[in-house]
Amino acid sequence: MDTQFLNTFVHVVDRGSMAAAARYLNITPAAVAQQIRTLERELGAPLIARAGRTVCVTEPGARILQRARDLLRDVADLRSVANDRALSGELRLGACPTALAGMLPDVLARMVNVLPQINVFIKPGYSAELYADVERGELDAAIVLQAPFALPKTCDWEVLREEPLIVLAPQHLAHRDPHALLAEEPLIRYDRHQWGGRQADDYLRRVGIVPRERFELNALNAIAVMVDRGLGVSLVPDWQQPWPAGLRLARLPLPEPAEPRRIGIVWSTASVRSRLVAALREQCRTAARAPARDEGAVSE
């Protein structure tokens, strides 16, 4: 069986038509159709149902689709292992919401510039689930929050960025004491079910502040907009830009030391794509050292 035919099948399913797959693969639609027919004959089952210009996957096709993806990824791994002179293949990467919008685009821009032959599969998710994916070997690495537990021996971790807790307040309250704001103004709480939210809750408990809670959510950009609209203040990590544009906010440092939120990269030490992971880590370090762009969204 030609794995290229499997690759064509996966692209037809993903793009919804043979014409779209042909454009992506840079072959003719007739060649795509011929490869699909050959694959169907070899497997003894119809894989694609044609409906005018579009297609849909059949039940037998759906059953083999994930196995086909896994097989193609394994073939790419074999190429990477066999070829020590070039970095190529697919890197499977996870990213928590903050990293997905903040650090990751710059990292990927650097990666593609330095290693144009690589492909990167990106899985968004919360840090806890991404750690589990890396541990199971489903992801090679993930840019996540630092875990509040010890990592297994099959994984390693490197911190890239520290984000101190700040009080986020409307600009007209910038002159107020941060602790007074947390005690007297309605609080838009960063979700205590998330690791960053627990750090904020721990700080409030440590300094003896019982806030007037109004909202609780796990969406930092939404919290920033709600503060701008005068719905309250918040205790959040000073997360990486970009922030929502046009907001008039004050970012007030805390009067007492607080444990920062740390963002870094966790990776599987058993991954066959260890050289790609090493290249990713280098680009992450470079992006973390780069000066932050001024988005003009908030003021100090």
Q: Tell me 299's DSSP state.
A: B
Residue 291, φ and ψ in degrees, nearest 5: -65, 145
Cα separation, 48 vs 17, in Å, equals 10
Write out the two tokens for 211. 């806030």
Residues 218 and 74 in one domain: no
Q: Tell me 242's DSSP state.
A: P
Do residues 199 and 258 make contact, with C-beta atoms less than 8 angstroms apart? yes
Given 21, 55, 82, which residue is the final one in a domain?
A: 82
Query: Please, what sign has the CA dihedral across residues 22, 28, 34, 38?
Result: negative
User: Range of 58's domain?
Assistant: 3-82
Q: What is the mean pLDDT of each run of 10 residues along the chain (300 residues)?
A: 83 86 86 89 88 81 86 70 58 89 88 83 90 88 91 91 95 96 96 89 95 92 95 94 87 92 91 83 86 49
Residues 41 and 158 in one domain: no
Domain for residue 231, yes or no?
Answer: yes
Write out the two tokens for 158. 């490197």
Domain for residue 75, yes or no?
Answer: yes
Domain for residue 295, yes or no?
Answer: no
Do residues 199 and 173 make contact, with C-beta atoms less than 8 angstroms apart? no
Residues 272 and 145 in one domain: yes
Residues 150 and 270 in one domain: yes
Residues 211 and 66 in one domain: no
Residues 203 and 156 in one domain: no
Residues 174 and 243 in one domain: yes
Residues 170 and 221 in one domain: yes
Identity of residue 291: P
Residues 172 and 149 in one domain: no
Domain for residue 45, yes or no?
Answer: yes
Residues 221 and 285 in one domain: no
Given this model, what pLDDT does residue 296 score?
A: 44
Given 52, 82, 112, which residue is the final one in a domain?
A: 82
Given this model, what pLDDT does residue 293 score?
A: 54
**CATH number of residue 28's parent domain:** 1.10.10.10
Domain for residue 125, yes or no?
Answer: yes
Given 49, 64, 82, which residue is the final one in a domain?
A: 82
Given this model, what pLDDT does residue 67 score?
A: 86
Given this model, what pLDDT does residue 299 score?
A: 43
Residues 179 and 201 in one domain: yes
**CATH number of residue 93's parent domain:** 3.40.190.10
Residues 245 and 110 in one domain: no
Domain for residue 37, yes or no?
Answer: yes
State yes or no: cis peptide before 242, omega within 30 of 0.
yes
Residue 30, φ and ψ in degrees, nearest 5: -65, -40
Provide the domain count of the chain.
Answer: 3
Q: How far apart are the first and last CA of the chain?
A: 62
Write out the two tokens for 4. 């290229």
Write out the two tokens for 94. 């996870």
Domain for residue 169, yes or no?
Answer: yes
